[in-house]
Structure 1
Amino acid sequence: MGTTLRQQMDSGTMSRYQWGTVALCLLLNIVDGFDILVVAYTSTSLTNEWGLSGSELGLLLSAGLFGMAAGTMFIAPLADKIGRRPLVLFCLALAAVGMFASALAPSPEILGILRVLTGLGMGGIIVSANVIASEFASKRWRGLAVSLNTTGYAFGAVVGGLTAVWLQSQFSWRGVFVFGGAMTLAAFLVLLLRMPESVDFLYLSKSPQALSKVNELARKMNKQQVTDLARPETASVKKASAVSTLLSPKYRRSTIIICVGFFLNMSGYYFVQSWTPRLLVQSGLSEAQGNLGGTVLNIGGMIGSIAIGVLLARFALKKVLVSYFAITGVLMCVFALVPSALTAAFIIALLIGVFANGCMAGLYTLVTGAYEPAVRATAVGWGITVGRMGAILAPIVAGGLLDLSWDTAGLYLLMSLPFFIAGATVAMIKIIKSNTGTTQKDDVVTNA
C-alpha cells in the first residue's frame, strides 16, 4: 500500500481547495450562529407580543437547543454511514423549512415546536461542519481550521444582532426569521454546488466510485494520485458499533472528560449568548444597547476563535484550553460588577466573547483529533449532544432564577462556575505529543 491521500494531507501544505472547503464549513457555522440567537435578539418583541414570563422565555430560548441536542445525537451520526455531504444538505433543507415556518407562528407553543424542528437540522449541520473542516486540514493547521470554522458562529450572531433591530422596526420579529430562512436557503444552494465529500469517509466507503472520487479530490488539492483505498488501521473500528467504540477502554476516559467539558462549557456559553442582551436591558440599558452588547460579545468571539487557532499551531492544546477556561471564569465574575456601566460592560463583554468562544473552538479541536474517522462524527455528535443538555438547562435555570428576583450580578457569578470546573476537568485528560518535526503540537488524546 502506497501513501494515502490522508497521509499527504496531514503532512503537506494546505492547498487553496482545502482552505476553500474550510470556508464552506465556516458558512455553515454562520447560519448556525444566526439561528441559535434569533430568539435572543427578538426576546423583547416576543415578550411584549405574547406577555411571556422569564421562565416561558427561557423555555423558548432552549427549544432550539433541545432540537439541536436531538439532531446531534440521532441525525449527525448518520454522517458516518451515508456521508458528510448528503447529511449536510438534508439538514440545511430541514432548517430552512423550520425558519420560514417560524415566521408564521401564531403562538409561543407553535414557535417552540418549530424551533425544535429547526434545531434538528442545525444539530446535524454543526457536527458535520466541524468534522469536515478537521478532515480537510493538515495536522499543523487543523486547530486553526476548526477555530476559523467556529468563527462563523460568532459572525452569524453578529449579523443577527446588527440586522435584528432594523428588521423588527420594519417587519416585526417575524422579519428576522424570514431573513434567517433566506440565509439558510442560500447556504443550501452554495453547498449543493461546492461541498465535496470527506476524504476519510470515501476511504471507508465501499462505493465503486470511491477511488475515482478520491483521485479527483487529490487533483484539486494538488496531491499525488493513489492506486487503492486500503486502510488496514480502520479494521478494528468496523468490529464494533461507533457508540461502543467511544466507550471502549481505548477511548472511555477521553469520552467522559470531553462530554463533561462540553456540558459545562455550553452551560456557561449559552447562558452568556442567550441572556446577555436581555440582562443588559434589565440592568438599565436600552433595548438597542442590549442588542449591541450581544453583538460586541460575538465580535469578541470571532477574535477569540482565530486567536486560539493561531496559538494551537504553536502551543500544546491542553495548556491553552485550560488557560482559556480559567480566564473566562474570571471575566464572568468581573462582568457581574459592571453590567450597568455601558463602556465597562462592553469592554468586558468583548473579552468574554474572545475567551468563551475560544473555549468552544478548543473543545472542537480536541474532540475531532481524539477519534478515528469511522467514529469521528459520532464522537463529535455525542460530545455536542451532552453539551446541548447544559445549553438547554442554562437559559431555563436563568429564567427561573430571574422570576425568583435574582439580579444580573448573581446570575453571572453563578454561571462563572461551569468555566472554572470545565478547566479543571480538561486538565485531567491524558495527552501524548507526536513528534512530527513541525511547530504544531500534534496532541493526541490517550487513555494510558
Structure 2
Amino acid sequence: MRPILISEMIDKAKFNGFFKKIIAICMITTICDGIDINIFGLIVPSLMKDWNIGPAQIGVLGSWGMFGMIFGSLFFGPLADKIGKKLAIMIGTAMYIVFTVLCGFVSTLTEFAVYRFLGGFALAGVFPLAVAYASEFSPKPIRSRVTVWVTSGMASGTVIAALVGMAVISAYGWRPMFLLTAVMVLLLVAQYTLPESLAFLKRKGKDAEIGRVLEKIEPTFKATPADDYQLDIKDTGKASLASLFSAGYGKNTILFWLMMMSNYIFIYGVLMWLPKLMTMLGWSINTSLFFTMTWNLGFLLGIPLFGWMQDTIGGKKSLQIGLVTLAILVSLIGFLPNPYLLAVCLFLTGSAQHGLSGVAGSYIAQSYPTSFRATGTTWGYGLGRVGGTAGPIIGGMLVAMNLPVGYNLMFFALFPIFSAIVVSFTTDFFQKDTNSAIDNRLAK
C-alpha cells in the first residue's frame, strides 16, 4: 500500500490550470450573491413609486430574502456534507435562478415576498459552499488569496447589477432586472464539470475517483489501485453542528456568528437603501445608481489590498483595521455635497466593505477542518443573515423618520465598530497552524 496524504499533495501542487478553472467557476458562482445584494436596492425607488408603498413596507419586503437565507443555511451546510459540495452548489444555483426569475412576473407583494424568500433559501447554500469548496482545492501558501478572490465574485455581481440597472430600469422598469438572471443557467453547465470534494469522496470510499482528481492536481502523479488515500488527521471528524463547538472551535464559532450578524446588518442595511439615500440628497435616480456602482467598483482596490493584508499580517488584524476604517468612511458620506469628493469616498468605502467581506469569508473557512468546513462556513454566513434581516428594516425606519442622510449612515457605522471588537476576541487558527509548522521545521 502506498500512503497518499491528500492535503499534502494539494499544498505542494503548482498553481496550474486545474486550480484556475475551479477558482474561476467559484468566482462566477458567488456573483449570484452580489447580484442579489444589489438588485433589490437598485429597484427600491422604482418599486416604491410603481406600487405606492412606503419605506417601512419596503424594508420588511427586503428582509424576506434574508429570512429565507436563515433557513437555507440550516439546510445546505449539512446537505453538502451528506451529498457533496458540488451537488449542493448546483441545487442551490438552480433554485436561485428559478425563483429570482419568477420575481419578474409577480403582481402582489405576497408573491414577491414568497419568491424572495425561496430565492434567499437557495442562495444561502451557493455563496458559502463555493468559498469552502475553493478553499479545499487551494494550496495552503495561496489559500488566503484564493478565498478572497472567490468572494470577490460577490463584489463583481454588485457592479454587474448596477451597470444593468443603469441601462434597464429607467427605460424598461424594474422587472427585467429579475428576468435577466435566467442567463445564469449557463453557470450550471460549468459547475457540472467540477470534481466533487475529495474529503467527501474519501468518506464515500471512492478512491478511484480521488486518484483521477489528484492526477489533475499533480500531473506527474499516477494513481494505482494500491494507493491508500488519507485525509489530514483534523479532517476525520463527523460533520454536524456539534462539531463547530468541539476541540476548541466553540469560542470562534460564537464570535464568527456575532461578527457576521453585525456585518450583514451593515451590508444589507446600507446597500439596499443607498440608491434611495442618494436621491434624498437631491441626486437623480440614474446618478444615484452611478454612485451605487462607484461604491461597488471599490472591490477593484479592496479585494487585492485586503488579500495582501491578510497574507502579510493575518486575517484577524486585517479585519480589525478594515472595520474601523469602514466605520469612519461611511460616516463621511452624508456630509459631502461635492460629487467628486462623494464619489471618491464611496469608492473607498466600497473598497473597505468588499475587501472585508473577502477576508471574513476566508478567515472563517480557514478556521475549520475540511470535514465540517462547509457546515461551519454556511452556518457562519447563515446566522449572519439573521442580522441581515434587520438591516433593511432598520434602514426603512430611519428613512421614515426623515433624519438627515448623514445621521442614517453614522448609525450604521456602529456595526463595523462592534464587529471589530468581536474579532479582537477570536483565535486565528490558520496563523497558529502556520507558525507551529514553521517551528517544527526549525526544530528539525
Q: Contact 2:265–2:387 at 8 Å: present in 1 too? A: yes
Q: Which ranges of structure 1 fall in alignment gaps of 5 or more residues?
A: 439-448
Task: Give, in whole Å, the separation in 1 of the partners of 2:379 and 2:41.
Answer: 25
Q: TM-score, normalised by structure 1?
A: 0.91
Task: Give, in whole Å, the separation in 1 of the partners of 2:246 and 2:90.
Answer: 32
Distance 1:230 1:137, change over 3 A: closer
**1:215-234 matches, cutoff 5 A:** 215-222=211-218, 224-225=221-222, 227-231=227-231, 233=233
Matched, 1:332 2:349: no
Alignment partner, residue 12 of structure 2: 11
- Aligned to 1:285, the other structure's residue is in SS state coil
**1:72-87 matches, cutoff 5 A:** 72-87=73-88
Alignment partner, residue 442 of structure 2: none
Alignment partner, residue 190 of structure 1: 190
The CA deviation at 1:232 is 7.1
Matched, 1:199 2:198: yes
Matched, 1:214 2:210: yes
Q: Contact 1:95–1:184 at 8 Å: present in 2 too? A: no
In terms of fraction of residues, the more helix-rich structure is: 2
Task: Give, in whole Å, the separation in 2 of the partners of 1:128 and 1:430.
Answer: 22
Q: Deviations over 1:200-219 (max 9, x none)?
A: 2222333xxx2121111112
- Aligned to 1:151, the other structure's residue is in SS state helix
Alignment partner, residue 285 of structure 2: 287
**1:108-127 matches, cutoff 5 A:** 108-127=109-128
The CA deviation at 1:249 is 5.2
Task: Give, in whole Å, the separation in 2 of the partners of 1:225 and 1:203.
Answer: 18
Task: Give, in whole Å, the separation in 1 of the partners of 2:112 and 2:147.
Answer: 32
Q: TM-score, normalised by structure 2?
A: 0.92
Q: Contact 1:201–1:373 at 8 Å: present in 2 too? A: no
The CA deviation at 1:433 is 4.9
Task: Give, in whole Å, the separation in 1 of the partners of 2:313 and 2:412.
Answer: 28
The CA deviation at 1:254 is 1.0
**1:59-138 matches, cutoff 5 A:** 59-138=60-139
Q: Contact 1:22–1:132 at 8 Å: present in 2 too? A: no
Distance 1:79 1:262, change over 3 A: same
Q: Deviations over 1:133-169 (max 9, x none)?
A: 1111111111111111111111111111111132224
Q: How many residues align?
A: 430
- Aligned to 1:229, the other structure's residue is in SS state strand
- Aligned to 2:298, the other structure's residue is in SS state helix
Task: Give, in whole Å, the separation in 1 of the partners of 2:395 and 2:371.
Answer: 38
**1:293-442 matches, cutoff 5 A:** 293-338=291-336, 340-431=337-428, 432-435=432-435
Once superposed, which parts of structure 1, at least 4 consecutive aligned residues long, lie more than 6 Å away? none
In structure 1, give the amino acid aligned to 2:144.
Answer: G
In structure 1, give the amino acid aligned to 2:72.
Answer: G
- Aligned to 2:256, the other structure's residue is in SS state helix
The CA deviation at 1:247 is 1.9
Q: Which ranges of structure 2 fall in alignment gaps of 5 or more residues?
A: 439-444
Task: Give, in whole Å, the separation in 2 of the partners of 1:231 and 1:135.
Answer: 12
Task: Give, in whole Å, the separation in 2 of the partners of 1:26 and 1:436.
Answer: 31
Q: Contact 2:14–2:218 at 8 Å: present in 1 too? A: no
The CA deviation at 1:99 is 1.5
The CA deviation at 1:286 is 0.7
Distance 1:390 1:43, change over 3 A: same
Q: Contact 2:330–2:349 at 8 Å: present in 1 too? A: yes
Paired-residue identity, %: 23
Q: Contact 2:269–2:394 at 8 Å: present in 1 too? A: no
In structure 1, give the amino acid aligned to 2:290.
Answer: L
Q: Contact 2:27–2:149 at 8 Å: present in 1 too? A: yes
The CA deviation at 1:407 is 2.3
The CA deviation at 1:258 is 1.1
